[in-house]
Amino acid sequence: MVGIIAGAQQLGLAVAYPVGFATLDQRRRSEIDFRYFDIADLLGRPQKQLDGTAVSAAVAGRRVMVTGAGGTIGRELVRQIAALKPAELLLLDASELALYEVDIEMRENFPDLPRQSLLCSIRQRQQVMRIFERHRPELVYHAAALKHVPLVEANLSAGMLTNVVGTRNVADAVRRFGARAMVQVSTDKAVNPVGFMGVTKRLGELYCQALDLAGAGRGDAPRFMTVRFGNVLGSSGSLIPLFQRQLSRGGPLTVTHPDMCRFFMTVHEAVQLVLHSSARGMGGELERGRIYVLDMGKPVKIIDVAHRMIRMAGLEPDIDVAIEIVGLRPGEKLYEELFDKDEEQLPSTMPGVFEAMPDALPISLLASTFDAIETAAIAGDDATCGTLARDLLADDVITNVPAAEREQIPAIRLVSAGGQ
């Protein structure tokens, strides 16, 4: 079905859906039935399929933790991991409702799987440490984050506490209590970031990269891997649910700019990338310090997605349903990128995946800056948080690193490249 729709759209052909899927009656647009609406059809390309052979061997029989387990990515991770028969599944989330819902789903679909539901914010360092000390996860999938660009832009201290301080708390617990690997979910918005959501995620990338490089040459050192996502179709609070809600009300569909482009992927593709990265990393197949990005094809214009959704509902854009241009929101970019201007793009051992080696920063510089960011964020000092973060990501930041530490960075990377 995906191939037929993608091919038809490339040829400019209309796709007919079953009678009753939608109505042209202006008075009954609210009755559009989204049960038969496959959001993967909006990709304009077939979904990527990664080889799952190594994943089962990496997960089966291990204690696995998912942070942000109640979110869109976290819940899909939980579903796919549960099917791989881990020894125990640890569900961690700060939202009581989200945690309750994912726990109920696991109880219904995997009643015999040992699991623990852990109500905890990753901002709570001591509680995170106690949980790790008690449960000793072997694999950690870190999906907990604040992800909405305008909200983080308007609430920077909160974004820093979750995406920067929280990520450091989880990573430090992984290192302290002997987990084998941590995979961090990041975003293409971390590349040459304009908004602070991207800035916070880039700082998390840098910290995990530094820890991964620090373990080079030590076979028992945990792996810290980062995967970058594009826009995940249908994730909570994202574009597609917004368009569905607007379409059900008869429109208009709101688009920020006619040239706005994004990379898109399905939640299934996103989780496959996370699981495969952990499996390959634990198997010693992946170089230390790299970032992994799914090949998502070409970026798609948001306005084209709006057109496709309207047509898939059996309606005509700008005739049955209007499209309204509302302007860019704070922190948004017109075009997303997969790699930073200074990153070296490298061949990947995983088909359908790109790899990049960003410039690294020493742990000491990151730790001292993160301490200052945490102090400012707790005080609600958004201005200081922003200045500290931007200064750390400035192009010339490496010149401010003490010479002895600066010399260690390329050495660490060379050891990493030879140690695998």
Helix, strand, coil abundance in the chain, percent, nearest 5: 50, 15, 35
Q: Is 304 a member of any domain?
A: no
Is 243 inside any structural domain? no
> Which amino acids are annotated catalytic?
189
Q: What is the pLDDT of residue 415?
A: 27
Domain harbouring 180, CATH code: 3.40.50.720
Specify if 220 maps to a domain: yes
Dihedral over alpha carbons 147, 151, 153, 155 (to 10 degrees): -110
**What pLDDT does 1 receive?**
41
Q: Which of 243, 344, 229, 342 is nearest to 292 (CA)?
A: 229
Query: What does the pLDDT read at residue 220?
Result: 83
Please spell the DSSP secondary structure of 232-288, one letter per residue: ETT-TTSHHHHHHHHHHTT-PEEES-TT-EE-EE-HHHHHHHHHHHHHHHHTT-S-T
**pLDDT for res 367:** 94
Task: Note down the domain range covering 163.
Answer: 53-231+263-295+343-419
In a domain, 319, yes or no: no
154-175 burial, b if ≥16 CB within 10 A, otherwise e? ebbbbbbbbbbbbbbbbbbbbb
The set of residues, in sequence order, having a beta carbon less than 8 Å from that of 300 and lying 6+ positions away, is 43, 44, 261, 262, 263, 264
Tally of domains in the chain: 1
Q: Give the pLDDT of residue 398.
A: 43
Q: Is residue 48 part of a domain?
A: no
Residue 387 counted as domain residue: yes
If you write DSSP's letter for every residue of 325-374 in order, what string do you get? E--PPTT--SS--SS-TTPEEE--SSTTEEEEEPPP--HHHHHHHHHHHH
Q: If we measure between CA atoms, which residue out of 204, 198, 191 comes closest to residue 153?
A: 198
CA distance linking residue 52 with residue 191, whole number of Å: 28
Name, in order, each residue with C-beta under 8 angstroms of 235's C-beta and a sequence gap of 6 or more: 71, 72, 73, 267
Residue 96 lies in a domain: yes
Distance CA 166, CA 145 (A): 8
Among 361, 355, 204, 222, which Cα is nearest to 291's? 355
Report the pLDDT value the prediction gives residue 38, as an integer from 0 to 100. Answer: 61
Structure pTM? 0.79
Segments of the chain scoring below 50 in pLDDT: 1-2, 17-30, 35-36, 396-420
At 95-141, the pLDDT tens digits run: 999 999 999 999 999 999 999 999 999 999 999 999 999 999 999 99
Tokens of 416: 């990493």
391 close to 370: Cβ distance less than 8 angstroms: no
Q: Is 357 left (phi over 0), alpha (psi -120 to 50) or beta?
A: beta
Say if residues 60 and 137 touch (Cβ distance below 8 Å): no
Residue 40 lies in a domain: no
pLDDT, residue 188, reads 85
